[in-house]
Amino acid sequence: MIDFRAVFQQTFDQLAYEDMPSLLKPRTGKLGLQDHEKVFCVDHKGLGDIFDMRGIDRERGCMVVVRPDQYTAHVLPLDAFDELSAFFAGILR
């Protein structure tokens, strides 16, 4: 199973959650409740900006593949489709 999350450069008060794609706000469970745990923002309290802390290019962004045991398996640019496919080709059928 592949699960998606997104970290945005804006603070939470600058994002329009209603404009997020449905992939980031799916309806789950018997009641079809909306999952609000897929969209994250930079730390607005000044404790650390994840983009600066991890050296992520703010213009290009990145995607991170995290295994179920929370190990960071791969970090790629957002447009690295071929590399991502090659990575998963060795794992998924």
Q: What is the pLDDT of residue 85?
A: 93
- Shared-domain flag, residues 52 and 24: yes
- Shared-domain flag, residues 66 and 48: no
Q: What is the pLDDT of residue 84?
A: 93
- Shared-domain flag, residues 33 and 16: yes
Structural domain count, the chain: 2
**In this structure, how many other beta carbons lie within 10 angstroms of the beta carbon of residue 75?**
14
- Shared-domain flag, residues 33 and 5: yes
- Shared-domain flag, residues 49 and 83: no
- Shared-domain flag, residues 83 and 49: no
Residue 61 and residue 78 in contact, taking contact as beta carbons nearer than 8 Å = yes
What domain range includes position 80?
62-93
Distance between start and end Cα atoms, the chain: 12
Task: Render each residue's pLDDT in the chain as its tens digit; 93 residues.
Answer: 678 888 888 888 888 888 899 999 999 899 999 988 888 888 777 777 778 877 888 888 889 898 889 898 998 988 999 999 999 998 887
